[in-house]
Amino acid sequence: MSVRENFSPAGVQIYRQSQAARLLAFWRGLFNRELLSYLGPGFLVTLGFIDPGNWATNMAGGSQFQYDLLWVITASTLMLILLQQMAARLGAVTGLSLASNIRTRFSPAAAGFLGITITLACIATDLAEYLGGALGLELLFGVPRWLGAVITGVVVNVLVYREQYRRLEHILLAFLQVVAVIYLVELIIVRPDWIAVWPHAFMVHVDQKSLFLAMGMLGAVVMPHNLYLHSNVIRAREWGTGQHRRRLLRFASIDTVMAMLTGWLINSSMIIVAATVFYPHGIVVQTISQAALSLRPLVGNVAGVLFAAALLACGWGSSLTSSLSKAGIIMGYLGRPEDERGLWLRGILILSGAVVVAAIALAPDPFALLIWSQVVLSIQLPFTMVPLIVLTRDPAVMGEFASGKWEFALAVLTATVVVGLNVLLLYWSIL
């Protein structure tokens, strides 16, 4: 029986007002000031994986396989929500980053091995981030690539060492907003066939030809250094005890889910734009410059400028998150305060940046370098996931906040899938 049949017109109006009041109260309760104060770390991580490596793998995948690899972004995002939430909880409960927990809880040999692998992954990440900033400057202003990489490194180091974290967080969120708005405009311009798009976001399809790019996409989304970063930046917040801590951890989970879904939308948009613009014309994107230049005659000059501006924002923003993560990883594995900014640490970061700039200047194929850097991340990922799963499952580390049976089972399943894909990639590469 309808509302109109039970109440008079005045009663119906009162009923509607009460429903609207309940809905408003719900949203006010969800987005209260306390929750808003805990938003940020998840979006910081999101910018970390909306990086030039994503651009390369997404553009290549969309132009070569149309929408077939959209499911990789969906699956990777679900994995990411689970793992980032676990990393955030580890940092909040223990007050230590993932790096510090590994150093404390694992044997020196195991911790040393894991520290070396994640450091190499960080260098691979820097290659993609610096190269993205350099290519953005090259496309917009004609700056030589090597000089653009140097400018990116200088900007990143100045921001990391001269700004407080909270101010950095706002800068990084601004970068993310720029990228999101630009890709929304791109989607409006290219007008994809949405009926053809949506099924591919959930239908699993991979073969020997597409597996390499699929693994690159996985590494570009579930980036191991971001798990370290999330555990580090969130540990400094006030978490309290008991029910208060549980409520704040729920806020952190909301932050993670909202941020990762934002990343899913942006990454999916990249593939959809590439599939819509390039695939029907038989254009397989093999360089970032080609992607930007090809957009101009197909969808207008404005799209080419937007592409370059978004690439620059991604390159600089993700370079900042990479540098923050690398500094915390180095300090955590060495047993020093993660927020320390000593001269010797600055020297290490500058030296690694110089190595990255040299690699970019000498690389014969920057686009291939971008894709390979992301595959390296997917290969390292199990060496970050397994320690995280072990630590968050251990009541001696997490107390009452240790992973339950369902979370542990999902995490093990995720690790098994990633390891299996790596083994399959190795097997098919040998054949």
Per-residue pLDDT of the chain (431 residues; tens, 9 = 90+): 444 445 455 554 554 555 555 555 544 445 555 555 566 667 767 766 677 777 788 889 999 999 999 999 999 999 999 999 999 999 989 989 999 999 999 999 999 999 999 998 988 888 888 888 888 898 888 899 889 999 988 888 777 766 544 565 666 677 667 777 777 787 888 889 899 899 999 998 888 888 888 888 888 788 899 899 889 888 766 655 556 677 777 877 888 888 888 889 888 988 998 899 889 888 888 876 666 665 665 556 666 677 777 778 778 878 878 887 888 898 899 888 766 556 666 777 777 888 888 888 887 777 777 788 888 888 899 999 999 999 999 999 999 999 999 999 999 999 999 999 888 887 876 65
157 and 17 both lie in a single domain: no
Unique residue bearing structure tokens 């909880």: 89
137 and 53 both lie in a single domain: yes
How many whole angstroms from its chain centre is CA 84? 10
235 and 86 both lie in a single domain: yes
341-344's contacts with Cβ under 8 Å and 24+ in sequence apart are: 341/161
3 and 50 both lie in a single domain: no
Assess contact for 366 and 135: CB atoms under 8 A. Answer: yes
Q: Is 210 left (phi over 0), alpha (psi -120 to 50) or beta?
A: alpha
What is the total count of domains within the chain?
A: 2
In whole angstroms, what is the distance from residue 81 CA to residue 258 CA?
Answer: 9
CATH at residue 45: 1.20.1740.10
15 and 139 both lie in a single domain: no
10 and 76 both lie in a single domain: no
21 and 153 both lie in a single domain: no
Domain of 296, in residue numbers: 38-430
Q: Which residues are CB-neighbours of 248 under 8 A, at least 6 positions away?
A: 38, 92, 237, 239, 240
Predicted TM-score (pTM) of this structure: 0.82
DSSP state letters, 65-91: HTTTTHHHHHHHHHHHHHHHHHHHHHH
96 and 210 both lie in a single domain: yes
Q: Which residues are CB-neighbours of 255 under 8 A, at least 6 positions away?
A: 38, 39, 40, 41, 42, 43
240 and 112 both lie in a single domain: yes
25 and 46 both lie in a single domain: no
